Amino acid sequence: MDYLQLRVLPLLALLASLIYFFYFQDSPTLFERSDCSLFPYNHYWIISKRIVTPHGVISGAVEVKEEKIVSIIKEEDWHGNLKKGQIIDYGEAVVMPGLIDVHAHLNDPGRTEWEGFPSGTRAAAAGGITTLIDMPLNNFPATVSAETLKLKIDAAEKNIYVDVGFWGGLVPENAFDANSLEALLSAGALGLKSFMCPSGINDFPMTNSSHIKEGLSILAKYRRPLLVHAEIPQDSESHLENGENDPRSYSTYLKTRPPSWEEAAIRELLTVSKDTRIGGPAEGAHLHVVHLSDAGSSLQLLKEAKSNGDSVTVETCPHYLAFSAEEIKDGDTCFKCAPPIRDAANKERLWTALLEGDIDMLSSDHSPSVPDLKLFDEGNFLKAWGGISSLQVGLSFITNSYNCFISTMPIHVKLYWLTSSRCNLVVIQNIVLQCARLEFQRVGLSSLKLEIVIWWTWITGY
């Protein structure tokens, strides 16, 4: 009898799990993208010791009903209100709002061999990002008109696994064409993006300060931001003349894009950003500097502009916070991006600026290409495609790196704050992006969509 029990029980368990498996495999709703659910119940609780809320990190439960967050309950308050069997216990895992990435290049349509919406948005979901805003390049054609935006929206339809919004492009061709820019913004572009240096893509030419001024004046009407790649090539320093500069060495690449490029661009931007002040000719528009790498004069200039009342914000990226030039091996072109990853001292200053709030947000600047363009065999930093693919791993980059910095604030709290402030950028655009869902515990809870990220980190400290 005992023997029989020993044989039968595991078999029953196996049978039960198979039934469970097939039942859910066959369930028509569980794996449907539109109403993806963690759990087969309409009403359930996600519990964790670390739920990040605007009022601090709590041990408690997130109550979910019909895929919406209906309440957040502290452990000491739940008094047997949670139904047994309808609880997912994540233990010490961090439960917080899904991240918003305001800067990703998904290259769809036109360069889907680099990456398209299906894989890009799955990577985002895996990386904790539940909303991303797609850049107007390196898709083809570039998103610089209402017509090309329509192509993007068509390409995204039924192909995305997270919420996606779109930036439009500000280029010389449309900058002085108010009708074209207005059509692009009316068609749903959340704001505009432009480059102050060559973008690396021929169909997306760079703008000068006159184009940017024009762009801001249109954006003011729509209360949306202009995102600028702030580097202006400088003659000095950047020339590699003698044969000593090995293109496989990262330091060679670093010398070609010194901080003075960022500084020059920001200095020029600030001549037009003053238009965004209250009472200024472009009041309502907003200027956002993307992927800042230079934590020196460039950052200082931005701080001054903010204190003068310019409507300006700045982002940096996980790779600038996680890596430093000293660590990048010869030929390892994975790390090539622009502006470049600078030295360890700069990295430390970026961290300080982020923790002190001088850097407003993080974005991935996820920018993939086909592997061939990275020239992995040759390892030539000067010729390889500049772009880092990080949608899926950005969160772990910064979490790992954060470990090295002493701070009283745990990184997930900081990320919560950043997510909220990113959300504010979206609010500036006056566009409904379900930002409200980030505000756990606010009025109208029942309308909050369930978009949270659950992740593990060994960092505690609160």
Kindly list the residues in this chain that would bind ligand NAG in the complex (CB under 6 A). Answer: 172, 208-210
Choose the binding region for Zn ion from 148-156, 160-168, 358-366, 440-448 (rule: CB under 5 A): 358-366
Query: In whole angstroms, how close is the CB of 210 to ligand NAG at the nearest point?
Result: 4
Query: In whole angstroms, how close is the CB of 194 to ligand NAG at the nearest point?
Result: 12
Cα–Cα distance between 339 and 337 in angstroms, integer?
6
Q: Using CB distances below 5 to 8 A depending on partner kind, what does residue 210 bind out of ligand NAG, Zn ion, none? A: ligand NAG
Contact 433, 372 (CB under 8 A): no
Question: Closer CB to ligand NAG, residue 208 or residue 460?
Answer: 208
Backbone phi, psi, residue 217, to 5°: -65, -35
Q: Using CB distances below 5 to 8 A depending on partner kind, what does residue 365 bind out of ligand NAG, Zn ion, none? A: Zn ion
Question: Closer CB to ligand NAG, residue 209 or residue 251?
Answer: 209
315 contributes a contact to Zn ion by CB under 5 A: no
Query: In whole angstroms, how close is the CB of 73 to ligand NAG at the nearest point?
Result: 58
Contact 143, 129 (CB under 8 A): no
Backbone phi, psi, residue 200, to 5°: 95, -5
Choose the binding region for Zn ion from 65-73, 246-254, 364-372, 419-427 (rule: CB under 5 A): 364-372
Q: Would you list the DSSP string of 105-166?
A: ---TTT-TTT--HHHHHHHHHHTTEEEEEE-S-SSSS-S-SHHHHHHHHHHHTT--SSEEEE
Q: Using CB distances below 5 to 8 A depending on partner kind, what does residue 275 bind out of Zn ion, ligand NAG, none? A: none
Query: In whole angstroms, how close is the CB of 365 to Zn ion at the nearest point?
Result: 4
Query: In whole angstroms, how close is the CB of 205 to Zn ion at the nearest point?
Result: 16
Question: Closer CB to ligand NAG, residue 215 or residue 387?
Answer: 215
Backbone phi, psi, residue 23, to 5°: -55, -45
From the list 88, 54, 59, 57, the residue with the least C-alpha distance to 73 is: 59
Q: Would you list the DSSP string of 50-81?
A: EEEETTEEEEEEEEEETTEEEEEEEGGG-TT-
Q: Using CB distances below 5 to 8 A depending on partner kind, what does residue 209 bind out of ligand NAG, Zn ion, none? A: ligand NAG
Burial of 300 (0-12, 13-18, 19+ CB in 10 A): middle
Cα–Cα distance between 284 and 291 in angstroms, integer?
23
Question: Closer CB to ligand NAG, residue 101 or residue 214?
Answer: 214
Q: What's the alpha-carbon Rg for the chain, to the nearest Å?
A: 24
Query: In whole angstroms, how close is the CB of 176 to ligand NAG at the nearest point?
Result: 7
Question: Closer CB to ligand NAG, residue 63 or residue 263?
Answer: 263
Question: Closer CB to Zn ion, residue 50 or residue 286?
Answer: 286
214 contributes a contact to Zn ion by CB under 5 A: no
Choose the binding region for Zn ion from 207-215, 239-247, 331-339, 361-369 (rule: CB under 5 A): 361-369
365 contributes a contact to Zn ion by CB under 5 A: yes
Choose the binding region for Zn ion from 183-191, 327-335, 365-373, 377-385 (rule: CB under 5 A): 365-373
What single letter denotes the amino acid at residue 99? Answer: L
Query: In whole angstroms, how close is the CB of 194 to Zn ion at the nearest point?
Result: 11
* Residues facing residue 94 across a β-bridge: 50, 455
Count of residues touching Zn ion (by CB under 5 A): 1
294 contributes a contact to Zn ion by CB under 5 A: no
Query: In whole angstroms, how close is the CB of 211 to ligand NAG at the nearest point?
Result: 6
Specify whether the backbone of 392 is left (phi greater than 0), alpha (psi in -120 to 50) or beta: alpha
Contact 243, 371 (CB under 8 A): no
**287 membership: H or E segment, kind and range:** strand 286-289
Question: Closer CB to ligand NAG, residue 163 or residue 275?
Answer: 275
Query: In whole angstroms, how close is the CB of 308 to ligand NAG at the nearest point?
Result: 22
User: DSSP label at 449?
Assistant: B
Q: Using CB distances below 5 to 8 A depending on partner kind, what does residue 208 bind out of Zn ion, ligand NAG, none? A: ligand NAG
Start-to-end Cα distance in the chain: 54
Query: In whole angstroms, how close is the CB of 213 to ligand NAG at the nearest point?
Result: 9
Backbone phi, psi, residue 47, to 5°: -110, 150
Can you give the binding site for Zn ion, defined by CB under 5 A? Answer: 365
